[in-house]
Amino acid sequence: MLLISCPWCGPREETEFHYGGQAHVAYPANPLELDDATWAEYLFVRDNTKGPYAERWVHSAGCRRWFNVVRDTVTSEILAVYRTGEQRPVTA
């Protein structure tokens, strides 16, 4: 079980959180102007990274805030935690 540092509440057990998939996938500004392939890319296609991966979590059983995590998908080691809207930090 992961120990996740919520940027608002500090380190908490994984069971307090929900996973939110890949981070930095913005809702397109004008969906109605996109062709089918581009929209399908937004809807259905996500990276499947082996190694450091920026992903979203929400502290459902705590402050209910969404935030971003860089986690190594091989080791599950959490390399960085940062707030929504912030740039992905450089991690080793």
Partner 1 sequence: MSEFTSESSAPSAASAPTGQPNRLPTGGRIDRSVTLRATVDGVELTGHPGDTVASALIANGRLEVAPSIYRRRPRGIVAAGVEEPNALLQLAGGRPGDSAEPMLPATVVELFDGLSAETLSGVGRLDPGTDEARHDKKFVHTDVLVVGAGPAGLAAALAASAGGARVLLVDEQPELGGQLLAERNPALADWVAGAAAELAARPEVRVLRRSTAFSVAANYVLVAERRTDHLGAAAPAEVSRQRLWHVRAKRIVLAAGAHERPMVFADNDRPGIMLAGAVRTYLNRYGVLPGRRAVLLTTNDSAYDTALDLRAAGAEVAALVDTRPEPPAELVERVGAAGIEVIAGAVVTGTGARDGAGRIGRVRLDNGRELGCDLLASSGGWNPVVHLFSQARGTLRWEDERAAFVPAAQLDALRVVGAANGTADLAACLAEGADAGVEAAAGSGYPGARPELPAVPVRHPAPDRPVWLVPGEGEPGGWRDHFVDLQRDATVADVWRATGAGMRSVEHIKRYTTIGTGQDQGRTSGVVANGVIAAALGLASPGELGTTTFRAPYTPVSFALMAGRNRGELHDPVRTTAVHPWHVAAGAEFENVGQWKRPWYYPRDGEDLHAAVLRECRAARTGVGMMDATTLGKIDIRGRDAGEFLNRIYTNAFAKLKVGSARYGVMCKADGMVFDDGVTIRLAEDHFYLTTTTGNAAAVLDWLEEWSQTEWPELDVTFTSVTEQWVTIAVVGPQSRAVVSAVAPELACSAEEFPFMTVRDAVLSNGVPARIARVSFSGELAYEINVASWHGLSTWETVFAAGQPYGITPYGTETMHVLRAEKGFPIVGQDTDGTVTPEDLGMSWIVSTRKDFVGRRSLARPDTVRTDRKHLVGLLPVDPGALLPEGVQLVAEGVPITPEVGPVPMLGHVTSSYHSAALERTFALALIKNGRHRIGETVLAPLGDRTIAATVTEPVFYDKEGARRDG
| Interface ranges with partner 1 (CB under 8 A) | 1-3, 13, 18, 20, 26-27, 31-32, 34, 36, 39-40, 42-43, 56, 58, 60, 64-66, 75-77, 84-85
- Residue number with CB closer to partner 1 (75 or 91): 75
As a whole number of angstroms, the distance between CA 9 and CA 17 comes to 12
- Residue 82 carries which side chain, given as an amino acid letter? Y
Question: HSE (CB half, 13 Å, CA atoms) of 80?
Answer: 17
Count CB neighbours of 9 within 10 A.
13
- Residue number with CB closer to partner 1 (43 or 90): 43
- Residue number with CB closer to partner 1 (3 or 90): 3
Taking the complex as a whole, the smallest distance from the CB of residue 43 to partner 1 amounts, in Å, to 6
Closest to 57 (Cα-Cα) out of 14, 11, 9: 14
Taking the complex as a whole, the smallest distance from the CB of residue 27 to partner 1 amounts, in Å, to 5
